[in-house]
Structure 1
Amino acid sequence: MPVFTPLTALLSQLADGLAPLAGDSAMAAAIVAFTLCVRLALHPLARAAARGERVRTRLAPRVAELNARYKGDPQRMRQAVTELYAKEGVSPITGCLPSLLQLPVFAVMYHLFSGSGGALRQHALAGAPLGGHWLDAVRAGGVCGPQGLVYLAVFAVIAAVAAWTYRRARGTAAQAAPLPDAPGAAGLAKFLPLLSFGTLITAALLPLATGLYLATTTTWTAVERALLHRTPNEAVPAPGTVASTK
C-alpha cells in the first residue's frame, strides 16, 4: 500500500547505513534505531506523564480526604477531585499518550513484516527471518535451535522489563490517588500491573520484527521511567494540610 512506502524506504535506508556494522542483521538494527527515534520524539510527553504521576502521588492524602468528606455525594466528590488536579495542571490521560501514540507505529511495523505482502519480511536477525514466528523457529530447529535462540534472547529482554515494570506498577498503584468512587477500581488496580507480561505473549505470537520493536520500546520505557523518577521523594502532606509548592 502506498501509505507504507515512506516507512519502507526509511527502514531500507537505515539498514543500508548500518550494513557495514550489522551485516546481514542490518534491518534488525534499523528497527531498533527507528524505535529509539520514535521514543525520543515522544520523550516530552513522557516527562509530562512522570510529572503528573508524582503530583497525583503527592495529592493522594488530599484525595482520600475529599473521598471521606463527600462520601454521600459522588458527583460533588468527582468535581472536587477534578478541580484539585486542575489546580496542579495535571490530567489523568497524560500518562496514556506515549503508549497510545505508539500504536500506529506498531501497526505499521506489523504490516511491513507479516504475510506474503510484507515488503521487508525477507530480512533476518542472526539467521532468524524477521517475518517469521516463534513456532516456525521451533519447528525448524527446536526451542534452543539457532533461530530459537534469537527468540529466546528477545523474550528474555521483554520478560526482564515486564518483571521490573510489574514490581514498580504495584508500588505506584499503592501510593497513587484512587479514582473517586469508580466501580471495580480496586480490582482494576490489582490487574493492571499484570498487563506488562502481555507484551511477552504478543511477541511470541507476532513476527520477530514486532517482537524486536516491543523489546526495544519496553526497555526504553523502563530506563526512561527510572531516570524520570530518580529525583528525591517529595514530602507527602498529611490529610487536611496543603503541600507547599515552589
Structure 2
Amino acid sequence: MDLYTFGPVATVLDAAYSLITGLSAALHPFLGASSSAITIILITLLVRAVLIPVGLSQARANQMRARLAPQLAELQRLHGKDREKLQRATMKLYADEKASPLAGCLPMLAQIPVVGTIYALFILPTINGHPNSLLSDTFFGIPLGSNLVHLVTTGSVTWPTIAVFAVLIALIATVAQLSRTLLPMPVAAPPAKAPAPTPGMPDLSGLTRILSFMPFMTAVVAVFVPLAAGLYLLITVSWSLGERLILRRIMGTGGAALPAPLPS
C-alpha cells in the first residue's frame, strides 16, 4: 500500500498543500514566481518558532549533562570495579536529578514529520486525489520539486541550476561548520582509563560523535531532496545555530562543552 494514499497521511498532506498554495497565492502579487519558495521559508520560520520550547528543553538537557558529568565521573572512580553497584548509583543519580541520558533529542525528532511532509508535497504528482500544482512552481527558474541528483543523472542539469544548488549546499555546510566551531557537542572528556560500559545505561558516546556531524549530513541530504526541502533545511539549520547561540548566552552552558571529569 502507498503510504501517501493512507487516509490520515493523505489528509495531513492535503491540509499542508492547502496551506502552502493558499499562502503562495496571497504572496504571488508581490513576489511573483518565487511566492511558493518564500512560503516554504515562512512556514519553516513558523515551525521553528513553535518549537522554541523544545529548543529550551534541549538547552536544559545540555546544562544537565554539564552539571552531572563530574558526578558521573566520580561514580566511575568509586564503583568502576563493581558494575552492579555502579549501575544502581548511576540510575539513582539520574532519578534524583529528574534527568534522562537521552534528553535533548526531541528537536531533531520533532522536525522529521515536517521535512517528510514538504518532501512528499514536492515529489507527488497528485495529493489526496487531485493534481499537485506545486510541482510547477519555481525558485530562480528551477522547479521546487527538482533535486540535483535526478537532474544530473537524467542529463537535464544546467549551469544556473548547478549554481543554485551549489549555493544552497555551500550555505548549509557553512552553517554546519559554524555550529561545530561555535557550539561543540557537550561531551565530557574521557577519564584516563576508560570505564567498562554500565549495564542498563545506553552508551551515547558513539551517538554523540554522530550527532556532531549531523549538520554536515544535512548538506548531503540537500543533494537528494527536492529544492523546496533543501530550502527548509537551510532555514532550519540556520535557525538552530542562532537559537543555540542566544540560549547559550542567556543560560550560560546551553551550547558549551562539558567540563572534564574528576581525575581518578
Instruction: Give TM-score scaled by structure 1 length.
Output: 0.83
Answer yes or no: is the 8 Å Cα contact 2:58–2:104 preserved in 1: yes
Match of 1:9 among 5, 18, 25: 18
Answer yes or no: is the 8 Å Cα contact 2:180–2:212 preserved in 1: yes
User: Is residue 73 of structure 2 the alignment partner of residue 40 of structure 1?
Assistant: no
Q: Which moved more, 1:52-61 or 1:68-77?
A: 68-77
Per-residue CA deviations over 1:138-195 (Å, capped at 9, x if unaligned) read 54454xx222222122112211111122335645224699998268754554443223
Per-residue CA deviations over 1:91-113 (Å, capped at 9, x if unaligned) read 23331111111111111111110
Unaligned regions of 5+ residues in structure 1, if any?
Answer: 241-246
Match of 1:106 among 107, 115, 118: 115
Aligned counterpart, 1:89: 98
Match of 2:197 among 181, 185, 199: 181
- Aligned-residue Cα RMSD (Å) equals 3.1
Answer yes or no: is the 8 Å Cα contact 1:169–1:193 preserved in 2: no
Distance change (3 Å), C-alpha of 1:96 and 1:188: closer
Distance change (3 Å), C-alpha of 1:129 and 1:58: same
Aligned counterpart, 1:202: 221
Aligned counterpart, 2:186: 172
Counterpart CA distance in 2 for 1:56 and 1:211 is 32
2:141 maps to a residue whose letter is G
Instruction: Give TM-score scaled by structure 2 length.
Output: 0.78
User: Is residue 140 of structure 2 the alignment partner of residue 126 of structure 1?
Assistant: yes
- Name the one with the larger helix percent: 1
Aligned length: 238
Unaligned regions of 5+ residues in structure 2, if any?
Answer: none
Answer yes or no: is the 8 Å Cα contact 1:52–1:95 preserved in 2: yes
User: Is residue 163 of structure 2 the alignment partner of residue 149 of structure 1?
Assistant: yes
Shift of 1:87: 2.9
SS in 1 for 2:99: coil
Answer yes or no: is the 8 Å Cα contact 1:28–1:209 preserved in 2: yes
